[in-house]
């Protein structure tokens, strides 16, 4: 389990991307930055809009071709930075020298990328996921520390959101969150089994997860993207809970949610209804 930046990369990250941190902070949750194993993603509307890594002479930036369309093509400064050998699997990879980093990721280009994301079909669940992150920003008692979490031990599965809940005196505990629409067939037994397996995996590897996400929190806090929690560092205790958050389609969901609550009593099941 590793989803943070090595010190040598973190020093560059915290220095060279201050302008990007400000853009994300000013977006009030519309943009979301998440650390990975020596790279990071910037999300918009639940989509990974940018994947930014580190190289000796600059930064490789991967963007889906649908999102990158007509954003950089007409600026002569970016003519030679598209790496043709990596223009595969529907992604463009640009190698950005440090002096072009800010021009490449300037506000107008970020806005164009976001506009392209809006034009592309996207899933309702990932939009709902983003809304949960945005609506729970800047709380002392709760923090979404990661999204789309995977590692080798999870066998290619991804847990939707990973929260940290305040337990007192600066100590937090893990909360694994699965986000589903009310008409998702996985609301039957599948999501209960999923969550139980995620919780068991984290509990069996709690030291690695604890150390990883204490580091992730410390690094994210230094970006000043979020004001709260106000602590510069946190301690995570070895307690893991599960939560299913369901949106809409209340009639279809009712029976499945009753089954979940009955068969997985330790998992918190919540439903948001679109009542007028």
Whole-angstrom distance, CA of residue 94 vs CA of residue 83: 6
- Residue 134 burial by CB count (10 A; 0-12/13-18/19+): exposed, middle or buried? middle
pLDDT confidence bin for 187, thresholds 50/70/90: low
Asked whether residue 141 is domain-assigned, the answer is yes
Q: Which residue has the higher pLDDT, 63 or 83?
A: 63
Quick check: bond before 231 cis, omega within 30? no
pLDDT confidence bin for 121, thresholds 50/70/90: low
- Residue 261 burial by CB count (10 A; 0-12/13-18/19+): exposed, middle or buried? middle
pLDDT of residue 275: 47
CATH of the domain at 135: 3.40.91
Do residue 211 and residue 102 come from a single domain? no
Nearest Cα to Cα of residue 128 among 179, 186, 187, 182 = 179
Asked whether residue 265 is domain-assigned, the answer is yes
Asked whether residue 11 is domain-assigned, the answer is yes
Q: Which domain holds residue 101?
A: 7-44+47-121
pLDDT confidence bin for 82, thresholds 50/70/90: confident
User: Element (H or E) spanning 161, and its range?
Assistant: strand 159-168
Q: What is the pLDDT of residues 134-169, one digit of tens each?
A: 888 889 999 999 999 988 888 788 899 999 999 977
Q: Is the pTM of this model over 0.75?
A: yes
Instruction: Using the predicted structure, report yes or no on whether residue 185 has a pLDDT greater than 50.
Output: yes
Do residue 182 and residue 96 come from a single domain? no
Do residue 100 and residue 153 come from a single domain? no
Asked whether residue 252 is domain-assigned, the answer is yes
End-to-end alpha-carbon separation of the chain, Å? 44
Mean pLDDT of 123-137: 82
Picking from 71, 90, 121, the residue at the C-terminal end of a domain is 121
Query: How many domains is the chain partitioned into structurally?
Result: 2
Asked whether residue 162 is domain-assigned, the answer is yes
pLDDT of residue 126: 79
CATH of the domain at 75: 3.90.1150
Query: Strand, coil or helix: what is 180?
Result: strand
Do residue 239 and residue 222 come from a single domain? yes
Picking from 121, 155, 187, the residue at the C-terminal end of a domain is 121
Picking from 121, 138, 159, the residue at the C-terminal end of a domain is 121
Asked whether residue 2 is domain-assigned, the answer is no
Asked whether residue 51 is domain-assigned, the answer is yes
Average model confidence (pLDDT) across the chain = 87
Do residue 11 and residue 148 come from a single domain? no
Q: What is the pLDDT of residues 95-119, one digit of tens each?
A: 999 999 999 999 999 999 999 998 8
Do residue 60 and residue 80 come from a single domain? yes
Asked whether residue 199 is domain-assigned, the answer is yes
Whole-angstrom distance, CA of residue 92 vs CA of residue 67: 10
Whole-angstrom distance, CA of residue 121 vs CA of residue 265: 36
Instruction: Using the predicted structure, report yes or no on whether residue 270 has a pLDDT greater than 80.
Output: no
pLDDT confidence bin for 192, thresholds 50/70/90: confident
pLDDT of residue 183: 60
Query: Strand, coil or helix: what is 256?
Result: helix
Q: Which residue has the higher pLDDT, 20 or 131?
A: 20
Whole-angstrom distance, CA of residue 10 vs CA of residue 220: 10
Nearest Cα to Cα of residue 49 among 37, 66, 72 = 66
pLDDT confidence bin for 234, thresholds 50/70/90: very high
Do residue 166 and residue 193 come from a single domain? yes
CB neighbour burial string for 75-84, b if at least 16 within 10 angstroms, e if fewer: eeebeebeee
Whether residue 73 contacts residue 67, with contact meaning beta carbons closer than 8 Å, is answered with: no
């Amino acid at each position: 389990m590793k989803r943070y930046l090595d010190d040598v990369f973190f020093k560059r990250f915290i220095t060279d991307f201050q302008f990007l941190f400000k853009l994300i902070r000013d977006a009030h949750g519309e943009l979301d930055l998440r650390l990975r194993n020596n790279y990071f993603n910037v999300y918009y509307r639940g989509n990974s809009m940018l994947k930014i890594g580190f190289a000796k002479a600059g930064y490789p930036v991967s963007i889906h071709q649908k999102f990158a369309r007509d954003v950089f093509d007409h600026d002569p400064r970016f003519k030679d930075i598209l790496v043709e050998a990596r223009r595969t699997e529907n992604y463009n990879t640009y190698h950005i020298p440090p002096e072009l980093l800010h021009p490449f990721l300037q506000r107008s280009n970020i806005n164009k990328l976001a506009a392209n994301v809006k034009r592309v079909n996207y899933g309702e669940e990932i939009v709902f996921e983003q809304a949960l992150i945005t609506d729970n920003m800047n709380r002392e008692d709760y923090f979404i520390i990661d999204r789309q979490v995977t590692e080798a031990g999870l066998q290619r599965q991804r847990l939707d959101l990973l929260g940290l809940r305040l337990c007192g005196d600066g100590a937090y505990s893990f909360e694994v969150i699965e986000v589903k629409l009310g008409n998702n067939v996985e609301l039957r037994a599948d999501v209960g089994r999923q969550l139980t397996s995620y919780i068991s995996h984290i509990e069996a590897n709690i030291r690695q997860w604890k150390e990883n996400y204490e580091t992730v929190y410390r690094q994210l806090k230094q970006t000043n993207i979020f004001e709260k929690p106000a602590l510069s560092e946190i301690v995570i205790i070895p307690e893991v809970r599960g939560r299913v958050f369901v949106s809409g389609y209340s009639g279809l969901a009712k029976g499945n949610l009753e089954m979940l609550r009955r068969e997985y009593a330790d998992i918190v099941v919540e439903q948001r209804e679109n009542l007028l």
